[in-house]
Amino acid sequence: MAGLLEISKVSVEPLGQELHYRVTDSTTGTVVANVSPVAVGEPPQVSPLKRFGKRVMLGQLAGWPHLRRHVPRITVLVTDASNSPVMFLDRADKITGNPYASQCAVIEPDGRVAGYLTDDHYKSPMPTADVVDAEGMSIVGGRRHLRDQNGTAICDVVIRVAIPPLPGALNYDENVDTTRFVGQDGTVWARRRGQSPLLEISPDTPYPIRRMIVASVIADTITNDHQIVASSSKNPLTPLQAVPDPYPGYADVHSRYMEYQREFIEWYRKAMTG
């Protein structure tokens, strides 16, 4: 039986419990991995006065729920079919004022950093008719990357959208790539088609890239379920304190990113309000 880092068609399905998922080889229907939380941060304790102060600071942006919403740090453990650890996925806090999903670190079972799933918050996430590929699809590339342990980009996550004059039906066509994971030499290592959550990975994908792609599929599912929400009324996640830390180096793995996030929030507020 092929393992999690060997399969070519990957799907992630939520289970009944919060932050619990199973990963399936869609070719055979076999469950190849399970995902469960090991640490979930406490929501910030904000007094009414501080909450009012934040709204004043955000100004006209205060009415946007995705800016008001803080999402705590989430760390999950991925285990294989025999319940052996494969990797940790550690999503940094999304601080109030940041509209985008936060960085996720991919951690080996022994605590070594395998890589990062990152977004350039300063670049627009929206496709335009000005940037198209050879097939006329509008694309967003160079914003989201899979990076190795040194922070070097090894894969560009490219979003493809059909906008006029192309027919909108292309965005739902199961034969059309809507997401591509593109290596630094231009090789397409993985793809999603239409609106399917299924990810297809090329059998030739090198192990380091494959591992980060699989991690990205799981992390994206968690993000879509718990971090990118239309309303701040969504039930908060249940805190879960890891005792001791889930892996060595846990305390500092996001320290540089958190500083980056704070700097971006200040820049974004000024850019949006003038």
Question: Domain for residue 128, yes or no?
Answer: yes
Q: Is residue 78 a contact partner of residue 35, using CB atoms and an 8 Å limit?
A: yes
Average pLDDT over residues 149-169: 96
Q: Can you give the pLDDT at residue 188?
A: 98
Residue 246 is part of which domain span?
9-273
Question: Domain for residue 77, yes or no?
Answer: yes
Question: Domain for residue 215, yes or no?
Answer: yes
Question: Domain for residue 178, yes or no?
Answer: yes
| Average per-residue pLDDT for the chain | 90
Question: Domain for residue 138, yes or no?
Answer: yes
Question: Domain for residue 3, yes or no?
Answer: no
Instruction: Please give the tally of structural domains in the chain.
Output: 1
pLDDT band at 230, cuts 50/70/90? very low
Contacts of 157 (CB under 8 A, 6+ apart): 141, 143, 144, 145, 146, 179, 180, 181, 182, 216
Q: Can you give the pLDDT at residue 68?
A: 67
Could you give the C-alpha distances from 143 to 52, 103, 176, in angstroms and in order? Answer: 33, 13, 21
Tokens 């199961």 correspond to what residue?
A: 174
Q: Can you give the pLDDT at residue 226?
A: 83
* Cβ neighbour number for residue 201 with a 10 Å cutoff: 21
> Which tokens belong to 156?
């560009």
Question: Domain for residue 170, yes or no?
Answer: yes
Q: Can you give the pLDDT at residue 1?
A: 62
Question: Domain for residue 201, yes or no?
Answer: yes
Per-residue pLDDT at 63 exceeds 80: no
pLDDT band at 49, cuts 50/70/90? very low
Q: What predicted TM-score, i.e. pTM, was given to this entire model? A: 0.90
Helices (H) and strands (E) in the chain, counts: 4, 12
Question: In whole angstroms, what is the distance from residue 48 CA to residue 60 CA?
Answer: 19
Residue 139 three-state SS:
strand
